Amino acid sequence: MPTIEMTTELPGPRARAIIERKERVVCDPLDLHVNTVIDHGAGATVTDVDGNTLIDFSSGLGCLLVGHAHPKVVEAVQRQAARFSHTDFTVIPYEVYVTLAERLVALVGGDRKVALFNSGAEGVENAIKFAKAATGRHAVVCFEGAFHGRTLLTMTLTSRHHPYKRGFGPFAPEVYRVPFSYPYRSMDPERSGRDALEALRRAFTTVVDPQDVAAVIFEPVQGEGGFVVPAPDFLPGVQALCAEFGILTIADEIQSGCGRTGRFLASEHFGLDPDIVILAKALGSGYPLSAVVGRSEIMDAPGPSAIGGTYVGNPVACAAAIAVLDVIEEEGLVERAEVVGKAIRSRWEDIANEVPEIGEVRGLGSMVGVEMVRDRGTKDPDGDIVGRLMREAMSRGVITVSCGMYHNVLRHLVPLVITDEQLDEALDVLADSVLAARG
Ligand SMILES: Cc1ncc(COP(=O)(O)O)c(C=O)c1O
């Protein structure tokens, strides 16, 4: 029995009416990426307000690793919401915050402490505050292709100008950007890690005094930047260089963490031991939550009340996150990420034999990206074909998202509770869609 059931064109009449109302009262920058409106979700599927059922390869931009409305998460949220939904943890503390912190310390390992926030960007902002307080330094180094959020500091750390930064300057001071290892787009893919590391080393002479640098922040696998997996020697080299100069490493695992790459942290693939790890997205399963998990002496460095916020570590979000961590463990979703990722990769590798616009299929675990180009020789990026592919897939019942500096990478953010049958069905749709997108 197929999962996908399309009973109307998209958007159907009910969705169209809601979207028209949205256009009148919701600001235009919140433009829609899919042309329907959800009624409910279950596991890897979304059913829209017109009764169409689609397979969701977007996972709420990576949040729904355990799927839509996982019964254990729903139960935990309902139970917590019925008891109390807010106090401000520093006014009246509660156990779920402490339990979640214990779980995260155990998962990340080492002598660490935790602070919880609402969004990924808020987690990044605070990770930098901890790093500055602990080192007494003011500068931050980040990478080309990075995405760290949309607040002033995190927008400054984010690489791409359009659409994220244009018109919003001046930006936060003392942020320095250097190249990231991007083997597919390196002059010499074999040297990608060494060259990018050399650029960082050079920047410490020509761009910023390393004695002023509090932290280097990186995504172990770049998300928005194109699901870019750096050369294996790059991040270990960055970590060693930082250690030389007393600079802290911050791993932004907001998109890559919680098991999506086949390890709880993507950092583990590279043998890293970051001073600070930031988690969000999948951790709260859509309930606003981020976690900064850092070495105890770093996390204890700011003074009393220097860190916090009215809503941070909301008890309902904490309860959801504890349930998410239980589900990840009980259902073996970290291991499942490898299986799902292998199926996605091997399908796209087959498709690549027929579709010359596929430049590279890459990724770690289930975090797989397909980079599309006009020409495999010149690697001229082709964002248009990705746009057409996504529209085709949507009309056939699979919701996808793209990424990449040129919007030319199809990213897979599959709920890891997806069944093998649903995965096959969705990949069949993507195979048909890419052929249709070629015209
Ligand atoms: C790696 C990374 N860092 C930070 C963020 C910002 O998170 P939020 O949108 O929750 O502020 C994102 C969001 O996509 C992300 O992927």
Q: What is the pLDDT along the chain (439 residues), one digit of tens a residue?
A: 899 999 999 999 999 999 999 999 999 999 998 999 999 999 999 999 999 999 999 999 999 999 999 999 999 999 999 999 999 999 999 999 999 999 999 999 999 999 999 999 999 999 999 999 999 999 999 999 999 999 999 999 999 999 999 999 999 999 999 999 999 999 999 999 999 999 999 999 999 999 999 999 999 999 999 999 999 999 999 999 999 999 999 999 999 999 999 999 999 999 999 999 999 999 999 999 999 999 999 999 999 999 999 999 999 999 999 999 999 999 999 999 999 999 999 999 999 999 999 999 999 999 999 999 999 999 999 999 999 999 999 999 999 999 999 999 999 999 999 999 999 999 999 999 999 999 7
CA of 62 to the centre of ligand 1 (A): 10
State in Å: Cα 165 to ligand 1 middle: 15
Q: Cα of 356 to ligand 1 centre, how many Å?
A: 32
Q: Which two tokens stand for residue 349?
A: 């590798």
Other CB atoms within 10 A of residue 351 CB: 17
Tell me what pLDDT residue 439 has.
78
**What's the chain's length in residues?**
439
Residue 37 in contact with residue 14, Cβ under 8 Å? yes
Q: Is 254 in the pocket of ligand 1 (CB under 6 A)?
A: yes
Q: State whether the beta carbon of 266 lies less than 6 angstroms from ligand 1.
A: no
Ligand 1 geometric centre to CA of 280 (Å): 8
Encoded tokens for 73? 């998460």
For ligand 1, say whether the CB of 255 is within 6 Å of any of its atoms. Answer: yes
Peptide bond into 13 cis (omega under 30): no
Q: Rounded to the nearest 5 degrees, what angle is found at the Cα of 259, between the Cα atoms of 257 and 264?
A: 75
Q: 284 CA to middle of ligand 1, Å?
A: 13
Of ligand 1's atoms, which has the minimum distance to the CA of residue 219? 1
Q: Closest ligand 1 atom, CA of 278?
A: 3
**Looking at ligand 1, which atom is closest to the CA of residue 288?**
10
Tokens of 75: 């139960």
255 Cα: distance to centroid of ligand 1 (angstroms): 7
Q: Is the CB of 284 under 6 A from ligand 1?
A: no
**119 in contact with ligand 1, CB cutoff 6 A:** yes
Sheet holding 398-399, edge to edge: 38-42, 45-48, 53-56, 398-399
Give the integer Cα–Cα distance in Å for 283 and 290. 7
CB-based contact 145:226 (threshold 8 Å)? yes
In this structure, what token pair is assigned to residue 229?
Answer: 């997996």
d(CA 120, CA 278): 8
Is 389 close to ligand 1, i.e. is its CB under 6 Å away? no
Q: Cβ-count burial of 141 within 10 angstroms (0-12 exposed, 13-18 middle, 19+ buried)?
A: buried
Q: How far is the CA of 175 from the centre of ligand 1 (A)?
A: 18
Atom number of ligand 1 nearest to Cα 256: 1
Name the token pair of 370. Answer: 């397909």
What b/e readout covers 378-416, taking b as 16+ CB neighbours within 10 angstroms? eeebbeebbebbbbbbbebbbbbbbbbbbbbbbbbbbbb
Cα of 122 to ligand 1 centre, how many Å? 9
Q: Rounded to the nearest whole angstrom, what is the distance from the C-alpha of residue 258 to the centroid of ligand 1?
A: 14
149 lines ligand 1 (CB under 6 A): yes
CB-ligand 1 contact for 121 (6 Å cutoff): yes
Question: pTM for the whole thing?
Answer: 0.98
Q: For ligand 1, what atom is nearest to the CA of residue 151?
A: 11
For ligand 1, what atom is nearest to the CA of residue 253? 1
The rounded Å distance from CA 212 to ligand 1 centre is 26
CA of 158 to the centre of ligand 1 (A): 10
Instruction: Write the residue with the smallest CA distance to atom 3 of ligand 1.
Output: 148
